[in-house]
Amino acid sequence: MKPIIPFEPIRSDSVPSGKQWIYQVKWDGVRILPYFDGAQIRLFNRHLNERTMQFPELTDRSYFEASSIILDGEVIALAADGKPSFHEVMRRDGVRRADRVAMARHEVPINYMVFDILYLDGDWLTDRPLRERQLLLSEVLVPGPVVQPVASHPDGEALFGVIKEQGMEGIVCKDLNSTYGIEGKDGRWVKVKNYGDVIAVIGGFTLRSGVVNAVLAGLYHEGKLQFIGKVGTGKLTQADWREITRVVAQISTLDCPFANRHPDMRGAQWCQPVLTARIQYTEWRWQEGRTMRQPSIQAFVNVPPHECIWEV
């Protein structure tokens, strides 16, 4: 089976209403699609990178009843407070050596939250309406300790209210009449977020006592890297900051990669714009050069820098 780029929701500031809409929790995880061709299960993320080694829990076909299948969902990991943590799940997703998988699996248990089915027993389902795909998914999915279906709710405003109270990421609103657009991104699915986040390029850093204590982030706009904020807080541990210090020392440069200048760049050193990270923020400060308010770094990610473009 050839992996596909999954369908993506568009952002909205309001929850759409109507009888055709269902509402689901937006899990703060990693998009993973299992592909079972009748012989083996292989896992791919939305960038078409294989993740079969990283998540061996999902290579056992006990969680579905089908001769062939493609599912769509999110792999999540929970923090100590019981909420999904992008930082934690990236500890699993970032494993690159097979001999470290067993330890990572022990340290960071995962769950797979399934929300769609794209292919079943030799037939593509992407041209069928979501209401039909949801019914088929309920018939073939076998929930267990690791794999669970994503619940659908009829009241989007009520669900979003709960999400805000719990401090979770947001909701996804889906039209039950909609088909699934491979490589698509449009209003058939809409995401409403409790807070903002971006995947940004790291173009600089500051040091304290020889260790990186903040990074300078940017997004590409019309081919130029634009500074969007200095980030020194988040989910990273002291060990993580020491590792970042080691990495940026290897890619440091005297040339500033940013096309614009900002007071927050004062005292910074530069690095080649090859690292990317997920950064959470509360809002954009348009009056201060289009920068993030209260940015918080969640994790470094394997996203190509050229994909980090201004879409906000």
Picking from 312, 21, 19, 45, the residue whose alpha carbon sits closest to that of residue 171 is 21
Picking from 193, 143, 147, 151, the residue whose alpha carbon sits closest to that of residue 170 is 193
Furthest C-alpha separation in the chain? 60
Q: Residue 228 carries which DSSP code? A: E
Q: Is the dihedral of CA 192, 299, 183, 56 positive or negative?
A: negative
CB 227 within 8 A of CB 289: yes
CB 45 within 8 A of CB 8: no
The CA distance from 87 to 259, in Å, is 30
Picking from 77, 112, 102, 72, the residue whose alpha carbon sits closest to that of residue 91 is 77
Distant-in-sequence, close-in-space partners of 62: CB < 8 Å, separation ≥ 6 = 142, 144
Query: Is 235 designated active site?
Result: no
Q: Is 277 helix (H, G, I), strand (E, B) or coil?
A: strand
**Options 26, 174, 193, 230, the catalytic residue:** 26
Distant-in-sequence, close-in-space partners of 93: CB < 8 Å, separation ≥ 6 = 30, 45, 51, 54, 75
Q: Is 229 left (phi over 0), alpha (psi -120 to 50) or beta?
A: left
CB 35 within 8 A of CB 70: yes
Q: Is 38 left (phi over 0), alpha (psi -120 to 50) or beta?
A: left
Q: Is the dihedral of CA 171, 44, 183, 126 positive or negative?
A: negative
112, two tokens? 């797979």
Which residues participate in catalysis according to the annotation?
A: 26
